Chain A
């Protein structure tokens, strides 16, 4: 439902977005990851028709954002970076304005507004000027604006920025609940958010897509993927490290002191069962043993730093 083909955007001589292509289908939540200034927001602005692409195309629900902007935007709910809103309005008048532009009227209008106010949880500030609201409420008013017409496509630029952990949780829950019926793109620099809500992630660095896959696939690229952490009796530590190094599937063992050993597998294989068996047969007093999923932040750092 969202398609970008070699989307490119120059600001003067600076290439902000450089040939970015991706597709997002119904039911997918795509996470845009990248360091600040990597081109996440510019990609979103171009995708949503605020900026005209220098080259390449983007379409929403089959409507080209440059050729048929009105039709494309009718299917689009967009939360711009920083959730800008008319400061002198109240959420009530603001949503009324958006409903007017979206062509909602009568019963449908009242129903959608009521539903959205409930979803975004802004009933308590409904009649306060937006400029007097806290950052969290402003963000939620912006979210309400994007959700108002129940669009097929949602593009949310840092939807949880400035929210407290409870509010973050609420917004993520909301995104997950809406996901089956929509195509959603969110940008974030919070890696935990990607694992929490995204079905796919794209890492952007210097305007280019440098990685594209599920959060699990990304984690699998980590050195820590499937690494086993073993905590045993301090005295058995040295002997255990030696024995573990002897295993075929083990690439390396790192003692961390205090009886903690980190066992790195060869080629990201799953080795927890093997390690467990060895521990049992050697009768090491195991206090703790678990496998790592991989560190997304490590992958992120590695990918974005080599690309930049």
Chain B
């Protein structure tokens, strides 16, 4: 446990040691705000909720989360510090979990910094703060899922650009699989059970369910198992490289 904490602290501090963290935070907040106000028509809807804010999160994360995760392992491999890390008395899962949690905490910081929009909506109306909280929880879980995917692909390569592109592509698959577009495309020639399975793997479907204010166990289980699954894959990738 203490090793995870030590890795976590180092990694999180690593984000803020470079301007990358601040650039990321500014871009995230600016784009999230712009989408909400201009595309989501936050004020025009005249409704005291944050639907116009949360609805864009899957698409926002698609590009911004791989930007957080791409450095996780690729940078360690490029600079050679991975050799140092894995000859220290820590286990592979401890390193994987510690680093993931740091990236997740950083995503959490970015998300938390959107609090002004919550203040605005409370100033202007009388929203259901429980639903808003659920939206934040869902958004945070979804970020975790995307991050776990990104961490796994970051371990494949020492090139951060490749890590970014591949992660974004895989995240896109897990997002699009729930859209009407894909489901329409599948219907007719793919058995219904398979179409349902594909749809149920979508981050979009599960996130929309939570962001409506209903936190259901199966949605929590979905994001939880996505994170666990991809972190296990991440460990396997790293272990294979040792044996290579």
Q: How far is the CB of A58 from chain B (nearest CB, A)?
A: 12
Interface window among B50-58, B75-83, B133-141, B204-212:
B75-83
Q: How far is the CB of B83 from chain A (nearest CB, A)?
A: 4
The residue that B87 contacts in the complex, of A78, A85, A93, with Cβ under 8 A, is A78
**By the criterion CB–CB under 8 Å, are B87 and A73 in contact?**
yes
Tell me the nearest residue of chain A to B78, going by C-beta.
A84
Residues of A within 8 A of B217 (CB): none
Residues of A within 8 A of B14 (CB): 86, 88-89
Residues of A within 8 A of B17 (CB): 88-89
Question: Which of chain B's residues 1-24 have a Cβ closer than 8 Å to chain A?
Answer: 2-3, 6-7, 9-10, 13-14, 17-18
Residues of B within 8 A of A82 (CB): 80
In the complex, whether A51 has a CB less than 8 A from a CB of chain B is: yes
**By the criterion CB–CB under 8 Å, are B81 and A86 in contact?**
yes
CA A145 to CA B242, docked complex, whole Å: 22
In the complex, whether B46 has a CB less than 8 A from a CB of chain A is: no
Question: Which of chain A's residues 211-239 have a Cβ closer than 8 Å to chain B?
Answer: none
Residues of B within 8 A of A196 (CB): none
Q: How far is the CB of B235 from chain A (nearest CB, A)?
A: 14
**By the criterion CB–CB under 8 Å, are B84 and A97 in contact?**
no
Residues of B within 8 A of A11 (CB): 244
Tell me the nearest residue of chain A to B95, going by C-beta.
A101
CA A290 to CA B146, docked complex, whole Å: 73
In the complex, whether B86 has a CB less than 8 A from a CB of chain A is: yes
For A, the interface residue count at a CB cutoff of 8 angstroms equals 32
Q: How far is the CB of B89 from chain A (nearest CB, A)?
A: 4
The residue that A85 contacts in the complex, of B6, B18, B81, with Cβ under 8 A, is B81
In the complex, whether B90 has a CB less than 8 A from a CB of chain A is: yes
CA A80 to CA B88, docked complex, whole Å: 11
Residues of A within 8 A of B242 (CB): 50-52
In the complex, whether A102 has a CB less than 8 A from a CB of chain B is: yes
Task: Tell me whether A101 and B3 are in contact in the complex, defined as CB-CB below 8 angstroms, given that A52-B243, A73-B89 are known contacts.
Answer: yes
Residues of B within 8 A of A103 (CB): 2
CA A76 to CA B89, docked complex, whole Å: 9
The contact string, 1 if C-beta is below 8 Å from chain A, for chain B 214-244, is 0000000000000000000000000000111
In the complex, whether A87 has a CB less than 8 A from a CB of chain B is: yes
Question: Which of chain A's residues 174-216 have a Cβ closer than 8 Å to chain B?
Answer: none
**By the criterion CB–CB under 8 Å, are A48 and B84 in contact?**
no
Q: How far is the CB of A43 from chain B (nearest CB, A)?
A: 14
In the complex, whether A121 has a CB less than 8 A from a CB of chain B is: no
Q: How far is the CB of B18 from chain A (nearest CB, A)?
A: 6
